[in-house]
Structure 1
Amino acid sequence: MTTAVDLPSPVASPPARPPRRLQAGRLYWLWPALTAAVVTGYQLQRPQLWRDELATLSAAGRSPGALSRLSENIDAVLVPYYWVLHFWTAVAGDSARALRLPSVLAVAATAALLAVLGARLFTVRAGVLAGLLFAVIPSVTRYGQEARPYALAGLASTAATLMLVEALRHGGRWRWMSYALAVLSLGGLHLVALTLLTGHAAVVVRHAVHTRSWRPFPPAALAVTVACAALIPLALNGRAQLTTQLGAKPHPPTPEGVLHILEQISLSTSVGGLLLGLCLLGLADRRARVGALTIVLPIAAMVTVSTMSPIWHPRYLFFVLPLICLLAGVALARTPWPAGLALVLVVGMLGLPDQRFFRGSHEKRTAELVDYRAAARVVARERQPGDAIVYKRDGWQFADIAVEYYLGADTPRDALAAQSRDEAGGYWTPERADVATALAGDTRVWALIPDNVTTGASSALSPPVLTALQRDFTVSRTWRVSGFDIQLFVRR
């Protein structure tokens, strides 16, 4: 979070330096960074890849040409992130740990920058406690252990806010260029996170009023204009694909949902309630009141846009969580160090049940685990040379991507594949219409049927596939694992 209330003008006296033992030379920002890295990195590989991460896995592993074809059909707004993962996995591999490590590093860097931002605007104590608070919140673990762009967008949000503060305080071409680059990164990683600019605009206006100087307006406007202009192609492609990815019907939050927004962003009822209380206490510091708009205005903008477009989801607001923690850190800094650290520990303890859940599953709390690993183990244990496999893949479960990932070269032949996903430019493999002909030479066929992604209820193969199997094959064995029905058909 930023504040322009007391941002000094170039002729103002410099702020008092923190005690020597807490100055930058003592690396005060390192403690929040290490805490975030340890908390988020613990059991990093334990939650298995879920459907969104399987999409990341599929996209990141494609050739540049295949990735370009994918962006023409779906996930255009995520292509900058996919390019990051494309180069990363070429070096680090595609294990769950490797796929998620950029997100871990992002939340660690966010905690560090949050400490620096707090020290710039308030005190070192406020910054350090804000960074430590951020590190122990359940949603930081959830998105820090996910191969998706939300953690990186949180880093870009914090960096952009810090760059804005530095540019307003000290001016200079390079600082404004750094701010423009941070805004560009923010939009490239998560386009809707550009709603943060509504809060930044309020900070710039308040700074101009406070200093009675409108000089920052031209460079601020130029930086934002250049960054947003570069993002126009991304936004247009994303707009064209909006219905495909999110549906056509807007689904704005209910008034009750808005009131409990901190619970939804933190992914914890108890932690969200405590955060709300700390933020309200933080507003007692008049320097924080304008900065609070960097939280309120982006949320208000998201709510407003969601009445016209289906973009609402609490995880899309993760980028404001560092700023929420900074406001809470201002409140914590009003206590002595031991008391502030004890309160951070209390938040961490309150979030332990949520932390435990997210280290076991990335699914919704009310949803059954879709156990891709267990399904792949069944096939690996019982398969024979020459086996074929068919999938129900008209939903978003990506069972074929998961099985190919876990079994590799031992994956049974995809009997109905008419074209590869890379060639088709999507996540769904086009299937042959002549099912009986496709299965003519097979004696054993596996059927992998994930539950309905919306209802969680058992599903079934498509009628043409089921009809062909029932006519020429008999069910030899069936298995049920969490989220999947598995059947082995043997030719009559």
Structure 2
Amino acid sequence: MPPSLRPTTPAMPRTLASPVPMGRSILRAIHSLLPSLERAAVWAPLIVGLGLGLWGITGPSAWTDEIVTLDVAHRSWPQLMELLGHVDAVHGLHYVLMYLVGQAVGVGEFTMRLPSAVAVAVAAAGLSWLGRLLGGPRLGLYAGLLLAVLPTASRYAQEARSFAFVMAVAVLATGALIKALSGHARWSAGYAVLIALLGWFNVMGLLLVAAHAVTVALRRPARRRVLIRLLSAQAAGIAAVIPLLVLGFSQRSAVGEAPPITATTPYNYLTWLLTPGQDTLPNALKLLLTLTALAAVALLIARRRKAPPLLLAVGVPWLAVPPLLLLGLSLDQPLFAYRYLLFCLPALALLLAAAATVLPWPKQLLLALLLTVPIAVSHLAIRQQDSRHWDTTAVLTTLQGRAASGDGVLFSGGRCDLIPSAYPEDFAHLPDLGTTRTAAERGTLDNQPADQALLDQRLARAPRVWHITCRHISSGSRQAAARTAASQEQALTRAGLSPGYHRSARDLEITLCQR
């Protein structure tokens, strides 16, 4: 047949005839997205963490420990130094920072909480960096975003205490450890500085060093000098904290009472990492959140060959070793306060993020959906005014609306009487009838109470008295507060003052006594 008469076969489209170019195109498209993913892994956790920290930051009422921070931030520099020589030196670095912030922009709930919000944002961005070191940009993005959206991170982003700073430094210290393990000698010095900073923000943060030691033992650095540098860095970091450890040990009698260890403590610890406080979620949602997290971590361990090789050696000791050590220490004296272990929260976020990366897309979506509802409900709960112990806002609003000229206030409950010094403008014309010398004047955290004769004399001249009784978490403090309240009620009765207006709020009672 002549060539011109031969039937012609239509040319197949290039994409169908040759799958190789199409595959290359997909790969090129994926690679073109990687810079965007890496940029998102850097900025998205930082922005989301800061945004959630600022959302409703002044809504929750300041609670017991924050009242102490506000009180200390109002003191003069000599008064602050005198305080740290007597008590609470273990929080000294945070107090100094809050004093400087107060001097720069004023003392208030927003200004005292804002540094914690920034610290949580830094922790989220730092965990994204750590995730990228361990497993690439997708793991970094997942880990940083998950830490940013966990309610417990937001809860402590809105608290004027040191725990968010400890968490941020713990993340950066773990990243420095990984860089040093990779043979980058200059990171060893930075690692030592971060360990020292960790201890100076809170000595409990040094429990992370034990977790890092387990990581180093599992990693087994091939070069001996890498191991020597790491051990030297850890020793130098701890040595820098020794003066604080010595001073803190001499002040150990001021350590607050922690709840005793029970069989449910490990479960409660894990639940607390996911949703702060035991009353922020209904039990059903709390159980769903906890079981989902446990299932994800179990799945990660089962598929550990698909996970980055160093991830489990970093995440598991970080999550487990500090609480186990604190449990052991608490057998002698109860010290197991969950907030001391906030720096372990990034480890849980890292492991959950790694679990998501080893799952196919449909199961990743299912994991996200199972976590979404409990996390959203918990976020709303922690931003309520009465979501903390002591609804101090209720005290302030009641007095602003009902107090009259000539009224006095009378507080019962340990450090409840620091509220006036934490909010001096609100109590400028409301004398504290139960105090003779303030905590700032004494260089302590406790006001000097008026003796019975002086209290009776003051009450006899007062036309109206606001009696404010604060309850406490620990049983010992509750009993002492109850005895003080009973004694004050007897004094009010002797002075001819009887209860009139009454308001109950979270962990406190507000009673107007008048003639």
TM-score bin (small chain): 0.7 to 0.9
Computing the radius of gyration from Cα coordinates, the structure with the larger value is 2
- The Cα offsets for residues 217-248 of structure 1, whole Å up to 9 and x where unpaired, read as 2221221122111211212222233333234x
Contact 1:29 1:112 in 2 (8 A): yes
Residue in 2 that maps onto 1:39: 52
Asked which structure has the greater RCO (Cα within 8 Å, sep 6+), the reply is 1
Letter in 1 for 2:458: L
Residue in 2 that maps onto 1:473: 496
- CA drift of 1:404 comes to 5.7
Q: 2:255 is paired with a residue of what secondary structure?
A: helix
Contact 1:253 1:303 in 2 (8 A): yes
Residue in 2 that maps onto 1:222: 232
Q: What CA distance in whole angstroms lies between the structure 2 residues aligned with 1:362 and 1:196?
A: 33
Identity of aligned residues (%): 24
Q: What CA distance in whole angstroms lies between the structure 1 residues aligned with 2:231 and 2:502?
A: 60
Residue in 2 that maps onto 1:453: 472
CA pair 404-34 structure 1, distance change in 2 beyond 3 A? closer
Residue in 2 that maps onto 1:262: 270
Letter in 2 for 1:165: I
Contact 1:390 1:445 in 2 (8 A): no
Letter in 2 for 1:280: A
Residue in 2 that maps onto 1:426: 444
- The Cα offsets for residues 23-62 of structure 1, whole Å up to 9 and x where unpaired, read as 4863522112212222222111110111111111112222
Q: What CA distance in whole angstroms lies between the structure 2 residues aligned with 1:254 and 1:38?
A: 37
> Which of 254, 269, 273 is residue 244 of structure 1 equivalent to?
254
Which moved further from structure 2: 74-83 or 19-28? Answer: 19-28
Residue in 1 that maps onto 2:39: 26
Q: What CA distance in whole angstroms lies between the structure 1 residues aligned with 2:421 and 2:466?
A: 12
Superposed, 1:179-194 pairs within 5 Å as 179-194=191-206
- The Cα offsets for residues 386-438 of structure 1, whole Å up to 9 and x where unpaired, read as 33332224x24x24425861753544122343212111122321123232574
Q: What CA distance in whole angstroms lies between the structure 2 residues aligned with 1:141 and 1:269?
A: 20
Q: What CA distance in whole angstroms lies between the structure 2 residues aligned with 1:468 and 1:313?
A: 36
- The Cα offsets for residues 268-316 of structure 1, whole Å up to 9 and x where unpaired, read as 4433322222222222224133222222222221222221232112222
Residue in 2 that maps onto 1:198: 210
Q: What CA distance in whole angstroms lies between the structure 1 residues aligned with 2:199 and 2:172?
A: 13
Contact 2:433 2:459 in 1 (8 A): no
Letter in 1 for 2:468: I
CA pair 453-330 structure 1, distance change in 2 beyond 3 A? same
Superposed, 1:323-338 pairs within 5 Å as 323-335=347-359
CA pair 119-362 structure 1, distance change in 2 beyond 3 A? farther
Contact 1:263 1:273 in 2 (8 A): no
Q: 1:357 is paired with a residue of what secondary structure?
A: helix
Q: What CA distance in whole angstroms lies between the structure 2 residues aligned with 1:90 and 1:436?
A: 35
Letter in 2 for 1:158: V
1:114 equivalenced with 2:114 (yes/no): no
Superposed, 1:286-435 pairs within 5 Å as 286=305, 287=309, 288-291=311-314, 292-335=316-359, 340=364, 343-344=367-368, 346-361=370-385, 363=387, 370-393=390-413, 395-396=414-415, 398-402=416-420, 405=423, 407-408=425-426, 410-433=428-451, 434-435=453-454
Q: What CA distance in whole angstroms lies between the structure 2 residues aligned with 1:468 and 1:200?
A: 57
Contact 1:415 1:438 in 2 (8 A): no
Q: 1:414 is paired with a residue of what secondary structure?
A: coil
Query: How many pairs were matched up?
Result: 462
Q: What CA distance in whole angstroms lies between the structure 2 residues aligned with 1:459 and 1:171?
A: 58
Q: 2:320 is paired with a residue of what secondary structure?
A: helix
Which moved further from structure 2: 372-381 or 148-157? Answer: 372-381
Residue in 1 that maps onto 2:24: none
CA pair 411-448 structure 1, distance change in 2 beyond 3 A? farther
Q: What CA distance in whole angstroms lies between the structure 2 residues aligned with 1:317 and 1:96?
A: 24
Please tell me the root mean square deviation across aligned C-alpha atoms, in Å. Answer: 2.8
Contact 2:102 2:111 in 1 (8 A): yes
Contact 1:435 1:468 in 2 (8 A): no
- The Cα offsets for residues 115-150 of structure 1, whole Å up to 9 and x where unpaired, read as 111111112111111111112212112111111111
Superposed, 1:86-97 pairs within 5 Å as 86-97=99-110
Contact 2:289 2:374 in 1 (8 A): yes
Which moved further from structure 2: 22-31 or 324-333? Answer: 22-31
Letter in 2 for 1:390: L
- CA drift of 1:346 comes to 4.0
Q: What CA distance in whole angstroms lies between the structure 2 residues aligned with 1:29 and 1:149?
A: 24
Q: 1:449 is paired with a residue of what secondary structure?
A: strand
Q: What CA distance in whole angstroms lies between the structure 1 residues aligned with 2:88 and 2:372?
A: 35
Q: 2:500 is paired with a residue of what secondary structure?
A: strand
CA pair 441-306 structure 1, distance change in 2 beyond 3 A? closer
Q: What CA distance in whole angstroms lies between the structure 1 residues aligned with 2:486 and 2:272?
A: 40
Letter in 1 for 2:194: A
Contact 1:28 1:128 in 2 (8 A): yes
Residue in 2 that maps onto 1:78: 91
Query: Normalized against structure 2, the TM-score is what?
Result: 0.82
> Which of 450, 454, 458 is residue 439 of structure 1 equivalent to?
458
Contact 2:200 2:241 in 1 (8 A): yes
Contact 1:387 1:443 in 2 (8 A): yes
Contact 2:44 2:145 in 1 (8 A): yes
Letter in 1 for 2:412: K
Contact 1:114 1:131 in 2 (8 A): yes
Residue in 2 that maps onto 1:6: none
Residue in 2 that maps onto 1:66: 79
